Homo-oligomer: A and B are copies of this chain.
């Protein structure tokens, strides 16, 4: 089974772009990913592509994968759309890794894209709603903020988690996102601002919820057989895990954990022969602040019920013991559904390459990404590891390009 390596990744800016289309955003991310490959990567080298997207707004609901691949000049290769709601991007990367490991491809593109800001709020609510439990949640009026508010309420009731704990997530992620030139909401916020913001779904305030965002992100995955053609900075996919669960929150045994995240993490850790103690930084799925707290517990960063005090301790800040969401996370960087998972991988790639600019986690060698679909109907976890150089005296191979902002472009 050939090992899979990430040799390049990039993203468009995340934000609101009335002059862009899903094709143009994808093309920007694709070129940024290609540009980040130390020795370059011609599009003719790409054997296959996977594209994650939900299709918000109903644009190109069938064949969006071939549509964007064609737009960037990839024809005649297999292109497959994968979708697991907000975990579509992470699922696309997982399929890319599978294709490498199956020996059916040497160079695979995993991309994600979503355009959300050109339709009405009602339309966004519909398109996200049909990723929740359609029959018994959406049609009875439950929104995603409502579902996550139920999880927050349950966590508060069971573990003395507070609104301020939720706000600490927002403060940290906005502080990080303010350093990220590609982030949607590039500003800092205070604990008071976050806590006293208008309520969206009690106990969640506006600052406990991620924005509606346009964007794209692409990741280039290659097999060990060809990795040396592209880089001598070897960033290996050390572990991959995924799991699905009931789509409806009400169908699950617990509201204070996401079983699919736990299962996906367990699989990824086992495959990598690693544990949470090995992780240097993580990009986790903070669609709502409570989701980041649950992720700490589900991924083993702290004990169940301890996530509130853990975030308050500063452990997950950029200079903490385990920085979480150095990119700004979904909260500040933004959450363009299909692009979120590939965007997490892009951040992890640049952190491990040492090209994350102001938000660089010093000495990062192992990164974890965690992408959730719906309220936990699906989850995907990746572990990336920067391998030590094979021969320290060899300076003749390709070197990573230096960049102040992460080597990405738009």
Name the one of B70, B79, B82, B101 contacting A80, with C-beta atoms under 8 angstroms. B82
Binds B, one of A52-60, A198-206, A391-399: A52-60
Give A78's nearest chain B residue, CB to CB. Answer: B242
Interface of chain A: mostly helix, strand, loop or mixed: mixed
Contact (Cβ within 8 A) B60 A130: yes
Q: Is A83 an interface residue when CB atoms closer than 8 A count as contact?
A: yes
* A residues 155-196 in Cβ contact with B at 8 Å: none
Least Cβ distance of A194 to chain B in Å?
A: 28
Binds B, one of A34-42, A61-69, A208-216, A279-287: A61-69
Least Cβ distance of A109 to chain B in Å?
A: 12
Contact (Cβ within 8 A) A76 B131: no
Taking A66-B373, A102-B98, A246-B66 as contacts, is the C-beta distance between A76 and B127 under 8 angstroms? no
Name the one of B76, B85, B100, B243 contacting A63, with C-beta atoms under 8 angstroms. B85
Instruction: Report B-chain residues with C-beta under 8 Å of the C-beta of A343.
Output: none
CA distance A373 to B276 in the complex (A): 42
Taking A63-B85, A81-B82, A104-B101 as contacts, is the C-beta distance between A76 and B134 under 8 angstroms? no
Contact (Cβ within 8 A) A84 B102: no
Contact (Cβ within 8 A) B54 A245: no
Least Cβ distance of A261 to chain B in Å?
A: 12
Instruction: Report B-chain residues with C-beta under 8 Å of the C-beta of A80.
Output: 82, 84, 91, 94-95, 242, 378
Give A138's nearest chain B residue, CB to CB. Answer: B60
CA distance A39 to B384 in the complex (A): 40
Interface size class of A (residues with CB under 8 A): 35 or more
Taking A103-B101, A244-B69 as contacts, is the C-beta distance between A83 and B62 under 8 angstroms? yes
Give A91's nearest chain B residue, CB to CB. Answer: B80
Residue of A54, A97, A247 with highest tally of chain B CB at under 10 A: A247
Residue of A80, A263, A374 with highest tally of chain B CB at under 10 A: A80
Contact (Cβ within 8 A) A374 B61: no
Contact (Cβ within 8 A) A134 B104: no
Instruction: Report B-chain residues with C-beta under 8 Å of the C-beta of A91.
Output: 80
CA distance A98 to B128 in the complex (A): 30
Least Cβ distance of A101 to chain B in Å?
A: 4
Name the one of B61, B70, B374 contacting A130, with C-beta atoms under 8 angstroms. B61
Name the one of B61, B70, B240 contacting A54, with C-beta atoms under 8 angstroms. B61
Least Cβ distance of A332 to chain B in Å?
A: 24
Instruction: Report B-chain residues with C-beta under 8 Å of the C-beta of A247.
Output: 60, 63, 66-67, 70
CA distance A351 to B62 in the complex (A): 31
Contact (Cβ within 8 A) B244 A374: no
Name the one of B60, B77, B82, B244 contacting A244, with C-beta atoms under 8 angstroms. B77
Give A74's nearest chain B residue, CB to CB. Answer: B244
Give A95's nearest chain B residue, CB to CB. Answer: B95
Give A81's nearest chain B residue, CB to CB. Answer: B83
Q: Is A259 an interface residue when CB atoms closer than 8 A count as contact?
A: yes
Instruction: Report B-chain residues with C-beta under 8 Å of the C-beta of A58.
Output: 130
Q: Is A75 an interface residue when CB atoms closer than 8 A count as contact?
A: yes
Name the one of B54, B62, B95, B134 contacting A131, with C-beta atoms under 8 angstroms. B62
Instruction: Report B-chain residues with C-beta under 8 Å of the C-beta of A132.
Output: 62
> Contact residues of A with B, CB < 8 Å?
1, 49, 54-55, 58-63, 65-67, 69-70, 74-86, 91, 94-95, 97-104, 127-128, 130-134, 240, 242-247, 251, 259-260, 263-264, 373-374, 377-378
A-B pairs, 9 with minimum CB distance: A62-B131, A79-B244, A62-B85, A101-B102, A78-B242, A66-B244, A61-B130, A102-B102, A66-B377
Given contacts A75-B245, A80-B82, 18 further A-B contacts (CB under 8 A): A1-B1, A60-B247, A61-B131, A62-B83, A62-B84, A62-B85, A62-B130, A66-B247, A66-B374, A67-B133, A70-B247, A78-B244, A79-B84, A80-B91, A80-B95, A83-B83, A98-B102, A101-B102
